[in-house]
Structure 1
Amino acid sequence: MMKLKYLFNNENLAEMLLKNWKYDPESIELFQYYRISSNAIYPFRFEGKTHLLRFAPVVEKNKDNVLAEFEFIAYLRDNGCGVLETVQSCAGEELVEVQTPWGAYYASVFKRVSGVQLDRTDLNDTIIYRYGQALGKLHRLSSQYTPVGAPRWSYGDVLDWIEDQLRDLPNETKTRMEVAILRDYFDKLPKSPSHYGLIHYDFEFDNVFYDQESGGCNIIDFDDAMYHWYVMDLVQVFECLHEFIPSEVYNEKMQCFIDGYRTEYDLPSDWETIVPACKRFAGLYGYARTLRSIADSWDHEPEWLMNLRARLAERMEEEAAGFGTDLNIL
């Protein structure tokens, strides 16, 4: 999530950025369906087809990471993986840096993928199977991938970033301990190309679309991609299944997902041994991002912002519950 001050709707900014691309002028009315989290996303149309404008302040992003994201997406598309597609600006750029009255921003545009978000389906066995198959294919292609430009950041870079966020926060002792525990654990694991590579990191229902016509899945939002163990993606998926699937059929659905995954890629026999560490990593990263996001505050904040702060504080408390404790899995 970006800092809270960037979460406010700003259609003037969106329109200013969009003018770097071709668009149907009347489709700006779709801006009302915006959403903002790690990026601002504003829908519009060009030649009647829905596109998505994505932007964020330059201070919130690492340019090399964004360009590495686009390179990986293009590689996946070229190899038959259903993923979103970037749209070049009028100047022929995938990523545009624009000086605006609100500061410097990075902006890009994507074509909307076909299909329906998984959380809007009935999550039947076929859909869950295809969901697993899509992740297995992504991991298989990732295991064969060598970037041409600067590589995407890794779990180690993320831990470095977290330490940097904690530098001037003396009360975050347990959080620092958590960083040290996880760094020590992951640094000792072998980084075999068959088990470790560029992962999606946010392979949850809202980022995967099921296309009934093709019978496959289309994947969006690689903004959180990083080099990590492939099991990290599985951990995020299983957490998502826990949230949406009734407990009495959870094991059946999880096996259905794994069966689909294995049609494209093999799971290591000992994959479950690193699940606890991956869960801890997700909690730590989420905590640190939220900590940075809510650092600023203002008098007379709108009610929606105060409610958001309360929800984020509750989630942070849950994420930090086990910080600094032994993993007990070495």
Structure 2
Amino acid sequence: MLKLKYLFDNRDLAEMLLQNWDYEDTGLFKHYRVSSNAIYPFKRDGTTHFLRFAPQEEKLKPNLLAELEFIAYLRGKGYGVLEAVPSKAGGKLVEVETPWGAYVASVFKRVPGVQLDRTDFPDDVMVCYGKALGKLHRLSSEYMPGEVKRWSYADVLDWIQDVLTAFPGETAALEETELLRGYFASLPKSQADFGLIHYDFEYDNVFYDEQTQTCHVIDFDDAMYHWYVMDIDQALESLREEVPPEDFEQKTQCFLDGYRTEYEVSGDAENIVAACKRFAKLYGYTRVLRAAGEKWENEPEWLTGLRGRLAEGLEEDSALFGEVL
């Protein structure tokens, strides 16, 4: 999540960054979304594209380059994934000095299909959803990064510890960081169960194309090296929020059946699910803590409302901090 000061609509900035790509002037930026990045849709060659950008200080350049490299690898293997569009200068990652500071930007083509929550989650779509994750993990297990490498869960824990130094009262979060660091360090890592994961393989980042009966995946911005079960658990937790409780077991089975057509679930997966959940809570907690750290007088109503919702989330995420795994 970006710091709250970056969540405002800034179309002048978006247009300035978009000058680095070809685009159509008509219907420019009818809507936008800002969370971990700012996303502004536009038209090019009659099709929808998305401008994605963020302040340079909010991103690690090696992570961005590694993300683009991994996406290119997946596309080369025939995996349904978004496509990065080169700028006029030929680069897929553009760094720009603007009146609002230094920014990094990329452009991606819209993938075919609809987000999973627009499908009512029928069984065949759930099988396809699981199959897409299984294939991703299989390809990841065969992947050898080039000059740049995406960060790992251990790097994330280092980042969390660094962020928490600015919040002296967060002793429980620091304790949780050290607890998870020790727990994960004690686990074996094999090519079969540990590799580059999506980390945000939730229903809103997966599109189902009814015509081809395949899934297409977007938003690898949170990718990291972790145990594959992390992706499985995150996907199923997002599904739990959308399907009726009485249907969840059936949908889970369909998802896992699809997954196993492409890759096998690690035999130790169930043993580390609790730690993966705790990692997600701690990482989310720290990101929100950092994002909301600055406050201003006379904030707009939507921002004060957002702060309230974030505060509730912080309380929920920290409930298990420090408990023995």
Question: Shorter chain as normaliser: what TM range?
Answer: over 0.9
SS in structure 2 of the partner of residue 27 of structure 1: coil
Instruction: Classify the secondary structure of the residue corresponding to 2:43.
Output: strand
Partners of 1:74 and 1:156 in 2: CA distance: 25
Q: For 1:108 and 1:241, how far apart are their aligned partners in 2?
A: 29
Could you list the per-position Cα deviations for residues 64-121 of structure 1 after superposition, in whole angstroms to 9, with x for gaps in the alignment? 0000000000001100110000000000010000010000000100000000000111
Query: What do the CA deviations read for 1:195-239 (whole angstroms, capped 9, x no partner)?
Result: 000000000011000000111000000000000000000110111
Rounded Cα–Cα distance in structure 2 between residues aligned with 1:271 and 1:59: 35
SS in 2 for 1:56: strand
1:104 match: secondary structure: strand
Distance of 2:138 and 2:319 partners within structure 1: 35
Do residues 200 (structure 1) and 215 (structure 2) align? Answer: no
Q: Does 1:17 align with 2:17?
A: yes
User: d(CA) in 1 for partners of 2:135 and 2:78?
Assistant: 9
In 1: Cα distance, 2:132 partner to 2:121 partner: 15
2:70 maps to 1:72:
yes
Q: Which one of 31, 49, 52 corresponds to residue 50 of structure 2?
A: 52
Q: 2:293 aligned to 292, 295, 313, which one?
A: 295
Aligned to 2:80: 82
Aligned to 1:310: 308
Q: Give the match's secondary structure for 1:43.
A: strand
- Match of 1:55, SS state, is strand
- Equivalents in 2 of 1:77, 1:70: separation in Å? 11
Could you tell me how far 1:270 is from its partner in structure 2? 2.5
Q: Give the distance between the partners of 1:20 and 1:215, measured in 2 at CA.
A: 35
Counterpart of 2:178 (choices 165, 177, 180) is 180
Question: 1:8-52: CA deviations, max 9, x gaps?
Answer: 000000000001000001131xx1310000000000001111100
Describe how 1:155-170 pairs up with structure 2 within 5 A.
155-170=153-168
- Kindly report which structure 2 residues correspond to 1:114-133, keeping only aligned pairs within 5 A, or say none: 114-133=112-131
1:142-162 per-residue CA deviation (whole Å, 9 max, x = no partner) reads: 000000121000000000000
1:241-289 CA-to-partner distances (Å, cap 9, x unmatched) read 1101111111111010000000000011221110000000000000000
Q: Does 1:257 align with 2:262?
A: no
Partners in 2 of 1:72 and 1:187 — Cα distance?
A: 25
In 1, Cα distance between the equivalents of 2:268 and 2:296?
49
Q: Which letter maps to 1:325?
A: E
**Aligned Cα RMSD in Å?**
0.6
* Cα distance in 2 for residues equivalent to 1:214 and 1:279: 34
Post-superposition CA distance 1:164-186 (Å, at most 9, x none): 00113221111011001100010
In 1: Cα distance, 2:266 partner to 2:183 partner: 18
Find out whether 1:321 has 2:313 as its counterpart: no
Task: Give the AA of the match of 1:177.
Answer: E
Moved more, 139-148 or 167-176: 167-176
Letter in 2 for 1:161: W
Distance 1:169 1:241 in 2: 33
Please give the alpha-carbon distance, in whole angstroms, between the structure 1 residues aligned to 2:166 and 2:66: 30
- Structure 2's unaligned 5+ residue stretches are none
Separation (CA, whole Å) in 1 of partners of 2:166 and 2:88: 43
- Which amino acid counterpart does residue 184 of structure 1 have in structure 2? G
Number of residues paired by the alignment? 325
Query: CA–CA distance in 2 between the matches of 1:283 and 1:304?
Result: 24
Give the letter for the 2:265 counterpart: L
Q: Residues of 2 paired with 1:270 and 1:168: CA distance?
A: 36
| Alpha-carbon distance in structure 2 between the residues aligned to 1:277 and 1:164 | 21
Alpha-carbon distance in 1 for matches of 2:27, 2:190 = 47
* Partner Cα distance (2:186, 2:91) in 1: 40
2:53 aligned counterpart, secondary structure: strand
Quick one: distance in 2 between partners of 1:178 and 1:36? 29
- Consecutive unaligned residues of structure 1, counting only runs of 5 or more, are none
- Structure 1 range deviating more: 216-225 or 239-248: 239-248
Match of 2:39 among 26, 38, 41: 41
Q: Which amino acid aligns with 2:215?
A: C
**Segments of 4+ moved more than 3 angstroms:** none
Quote the Cα distance in structure 1 between the aligned partners of 2:27 and 2:20.
Answer: 15
Match of 2:231 in 1: 233
